[in-house]
């Protein structure tokens, strides 16, 4: 099979679309910024109080969950102590055992029941907002007394009952929502670092 390079037209459309979605998200900031602040505040209070962040998602969002956790256990931009964050997507033994013996919809919720404590934060990442394993994880976290944050797109009609903070980006295609999610995740990382280290002059 031969492959042809992308046409200039396709590349231009992709970049123009991405710019438009960034602009749309910027326009939504009056609504989004308070939610981002609430999400960051819950993360900081968990981390400062001896708690942790648990993060989950499927496919590309599993990669985003790992990316987010690594920014915290490693470092984001500035030097600081490692922060307690764990992606629930990385333990193939837990994922296959729970998926095989129980249900794939329980792969994150069961880990949440094992690991989450009151005051922790469960961050669910789902472009549809409706993946059963992410939604069950949020419900399990809520039952335990952990805070719940959901990153999604614009397909949810309303904030699910089990979600404290909804960060919904104005896009409806999975890949495009993911592109905005990684921006929000980096904004959260910067906000967390500012709270812990002080705002840079
Ligand atoms: O990355 C992509 C598409 O860009 C896919 O791997 C995508 O993440 C998967 O289809 C997921 O299963 C979608 O789940 P969700 O975002 O709706 O929760
Ligand atoms: Zn993707």
pLDDT over 70 percentage in the chain: 100
Q: How far is the CA of 198 from the centre of ligand 2 (A)?
A: 34
pTM over 0.80: yes
Exposed / middle / buried, residue 114 (Cβ in 10 Å: 0-12, 13-18, 19+): exposed
Q: How confident is the model at residue 200 (pLDDT cuts 50, 70, 90)?
A: confident
pLDDT score recorded for residue 1: 72
Residue to probe by mutation, ligand 1, list 14, 61, 153, 176, most atoms within 8 Å of CB = 61
Average pLDDT over residues 52-68: 98
| Closest atom, ligand 1, to C-alpha of 175 | 4
Beta strands 121-125; 147-152: pairing state: parallel
Question: Around Cβ 54, how many Cβ atoms within 10 Å?
Answer: 26
Q: What is the pLDDT of residues 126-135, one digit of tens each?
A: 999 999 999 9
Element (H, E) at 182: helix 174-197
Which sign, positive or negative, has the C-alpha torsion 140, 40, 176, 4? Answer: negative
pLDDT score recorded for residue 26: 96
Q: What is the pLDDT of residues 159-191, one digit of tens each?
A: 999 999 999 999 989 999 999 999 999 999 999
Ligand 2 is a single-atom ion; what residues have CB below 5 A from it? 60, 175
Q: List CB contacts of 93: < 8 A, sequence separation 6 or more.
A: none
pLDDT score recorded for residue 5: 82
Among all ligands shown, which has an atom nearest to the Cα of 173?
1
Average pLDDT over residues 71-94: 98
Residue pair 153/179 in contact (Cβ under 8 Å)? The answer is: no
* Domains assigned to the chain: 21-197 (3.40.50.10490)
Among all ligands shown, which has an atom nearest to the Cα of 105?
1
Kindly state the DSSP code that residue 6 receives in the 8-state scheme. Answer: P
178 lines ligand 1 (CB under 6 A): yes
The CA R_g of the chain, rounded to the nearest whole Å, is 17
Nearest to 21 by CA among 101, 102, 92, 127: 127
How much is the ipTM here? 0.98
133 lines ligand 1 (CB under 6 A): no
Q: Is the pLDDT at 35 greater than 90, yes or no?
A: yes
Query: Which segments of 8-91 does DSSP mark as H helices, in order?
Result: 8-27, 29-48, 60-73
Q: How confident is the model at residue 4 (pLDDT cuts 50, 70, 90)?
A: confident
pLDDT score recorded for residue 201: 77
pLDDT score recorded for residue 3: 78
Average pLDDT over residues 96-114: 98
In the block, tokens 């009151």 appear at: 118
pLDDT score recorded for residue 151: 98
Residues annotated as binding site for Zn(2+)?
67, 71, 178, 186
Output the residue whose Cα is nearest ligand 1's atom 2.
60
d(CA 60, CA 45): 28
pLDDT score recorded for residue 135: 98
Query: What token pair was written down for 159?
Result: 């904030």
Q: What is the pLDDT of residues 139-165, one digit of tens each?
A: 999 999 999 999 999 999 999 999 999
Q: How far is the CA of 50 from the centre of ligand 1 (A)?
A: 32
């Amino acid at each position: 099979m031969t492959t042809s390079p992308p046409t200039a037209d396709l590349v231009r459309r992709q970049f123009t679309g991405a710019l438009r979605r960034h602009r749309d998200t910027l326009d939504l900031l009056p609504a989004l910024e308070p939610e981002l602040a609430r999400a960051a505040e819950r993360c900081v209070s968990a981390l400062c109080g001896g708690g942790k962040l648990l993060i989950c998602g499927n496919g590309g969002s599993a990669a985003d969950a790992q990316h987010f956790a690594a920014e915290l256990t490693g470092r984001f931009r500035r030097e600081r102590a490692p922060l307690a964050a764990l992606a629930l997507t990385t333990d193939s033994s837990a994922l296959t055992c729970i998926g095989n013996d129980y249900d794939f919809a329980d792969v994150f919720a069961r880990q949440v029941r094992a690991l989450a404590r009151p005051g922790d934060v469960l961050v669910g990442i789902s472009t549809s907002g409706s993946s059963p394993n992410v939604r069950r994880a949020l419900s399990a976290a809520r039952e335990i007394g952990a805070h719940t944050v959901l990153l999604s797109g614009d397909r949810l009609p309303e904030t699910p009952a089990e979600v404290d903070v909804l960060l919904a980006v104005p896009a409806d295609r999975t890949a495009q929502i993911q592109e905005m999610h990684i921006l929000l995740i980096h904004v959260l990382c910067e906000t967390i670092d500012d709270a812990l280290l002080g705002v840079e002059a």
